[in-house]
């Protein structure tokens, strides 16, 4: 018998995975916006500093898109913030 990937009895369906991804993207977007403002960046300046368009940055902050891992590392360096801080508010899943 295969070892479960999750402590719940529910299978990891594509829908559950998409829900988890959407929640993570929303948390990231909220934290990105907050941290950017705390560091004194306008979205234009942050986008320029990272070398992406303002529309790309805006999509990240509105949770429409998610940056690639190399860009995520660049965001963390630009904003002088550990990558984990962008995901800090993701609540743990409650066991059922």
| pTM, 2 dp | 0.80
pLDDT per residue of the chain (96 residues) written in tens, 0 to 9: 445 555 666 778 899 889 989 999 999 999 999 999 999 999 999 999 999 999 999 999 999 999 999 999 999 999 999 999 999 875 544 555
Give the pLDDT of residue 11.
78
Give the pLDDT of residue 5.
55
Q: What is the distance between the alpha carbons of residues 22 and 19, in angstroms, rounded to a whole number?
A: 5
């Amino acid at each position: 018998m295969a070892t479960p990937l999750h402590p719940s009895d529910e299978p990891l369906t594509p829908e559950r995975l998409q829900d988890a991804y959407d929640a993570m993207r929303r948390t990231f977007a909220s934290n990105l916006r907050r941290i950017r403002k705390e560091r004194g960046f306008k979205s234009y300046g942050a986008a320029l500093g990272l070398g992406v368009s303002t529309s790309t940055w805006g999509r990240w902050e509105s949770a429409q898109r998610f940056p690639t891992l190399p860009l995520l590392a660049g965001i963390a360096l630009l904003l002088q913030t550990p990558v984990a801080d962008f995901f800090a508010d993701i609540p743990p899943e409650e066991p059922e």
